[in-house]
Amino acid sequence: MPEGVIIKALSGFYYVKDGEKYIQCRARGIFRKRKIIPLVGDHVQYEAERPTDGYILSIGERKNMLNRPPIANVDQAILVFSVREPDLDAQLLDRFLVHMEVHRIRSVICLTKWDLLGEEASDSFRSLIDVYIKIGYPVVITSSRTRYGLEDLSDRLAGSVSVVTGQSGVGKSTLLNALDDSFQIDTQAISRSLGRGRHTTRHVELLPFSGGGYIADTPGFSSLDITKLSLDELRVSFPEFLPFSESCRFRGCMHLAEPNCAVKAAVDSHDIDTGRYAHYRSFYQEISKRKRRY
């Protein structure tokens, strides 16, 4: 049975790459009945009636999968945030980081449009960047316009399967085009009046990277629902809390109003960033509000 990898999903078709061959496949009804949706990144067995057309018969076991963006079997997520146009939203960044922690996918934070910052503004960004580096998240600073940081990013992508994700208009596709001129992905000018992108990329596609490995460009989105998480999942998704939480008085301490909470003490002594802790609290409230509703 021939096998391949789904590299693109579009309007009910799955484009399967089998070595140098590309086969346009449909999924058999069996998937619909079992409510399994084939994803880009899936290793599949297929049956080809003609050299370029076929059907997906089965999907191999996934090492991981995301619903947003829809993809399976990635080694890492590149979280793309522009420093300007649109401004960096640190709460949204923490939302993405939690999302990836829960799915056990390692994150690389990639800041784009660095050329739009003046000297003073770049200095104030450095302290934000330090927060994430201290936690252990790699941060790459880039500008597709000046090509600043592209080599650093390229080194991180080489040999891995990476999914690139982030808000619309932050420059994901522009960045990929700058990294590899064989890509030629459509990009678009940001809408000035709205101050945000216009959803230029509309499908997920895995692209073979000239430096080795694969990169998936994905459509941007502006919010990320985390309310399906359990409070326990949230609690372990801030890695910098973990060394302290062992010393909390109560097992399962949520680090809110409990007495003798070592995490809160670490926030007070600035060993944990106050902004990150504030985001943790607001995510907690979002999740518990939803749980009360059902």
Ligand X SMILES: Nc1nc2c(ncn2[C@@H]2O[C@H](COP(=O)(O)OP(=O)(O)OP(=O)(O)O)[C@@H](O)[C@H]2O)c(=O)[nH]1
Does residue 177 bind Mg ion (CB under 5 A)? no
Q: What are phi and psi of 291, to 5 degrees?
A: -65, -35
Per residue in 152-188, is it b (16+ CB within 10 Å) or e — as a string?
A: ebbebbeebbbbbbbbbbbbbbbbbbbbbeebebebe
Residue type, 21: K
**Least separation, in Å, of the C-beta of 230 and Zn ion?**
17
- Cβ closest to Mg ion, residue 112 vs residue 201: 201
Q: Count of CB atoms within 10 A of residue 150's CB?
A: 16
Tell which one of 97, 100, 263, 267 touches Zn ion (CB under 5 A): 263
Does residue 189 bind ligand X (CB under 6 A)? yes
- Helices 274-293 and 119-135: angle between axes, nearest 10 degrees: 70
Distance CA 6, CA 25 (A): 9
**Least separation, in Å, of the C-beta of 128 and Mg ion?**
24
- Helices 274-293 and 90-102: angle between axes, nearest 10 degrees: 70
**Least separation, in Å, of the C-beta of 283 and Mg ion?**
27
Q: Choose one: 31-39, 45-53, 129-137, 194-202; the region binding ligand X (CB under 6 A).
A: 194-202
With H, G, I as helix, E, B as strand and everything else as coil, classify residue 289. helix
Does residue 266 bind Zn ion (CB under 5 A)? no
**Least separation, in Å, of the C-beta of 260 and Zn ion?**
8
- Cβ closest to ligand X, residue 73 vs residue 168: 168
Does residue 172 bind ligand X (CB under 6 A)? yes
Per residue in 265-279, is it b (16+ CB within 10 Å) or e — as a string?
A: ebbeeeebbeebbeb
Does residue 112 bind ligand X (CB under 6 A)? yes
Distance CA 67, CA 58 (A): 19
- Cβ closest to Zn ion, residue 208 vs residue 252: 252
**Least separation, in Å, of the C-beta of 186 and ligand X?**
7
Tell which one of 76, 165, 177, 200 touches Mg ion (CB under 5 A): 200
Q: Which residues bind Mg ion (CB under 5 A)?
A: 172-173, 200-201
Query: Which residues are at the interface with ligand X (CB under 6 A)?
Result: 112-113, 115-116, 143-145, 168-174, 187-190, 197, 199-201, 219-220
Give contact residues for Zn ion (rule: CB under 5 A). Answer: 248, 253, 255, 261, 263
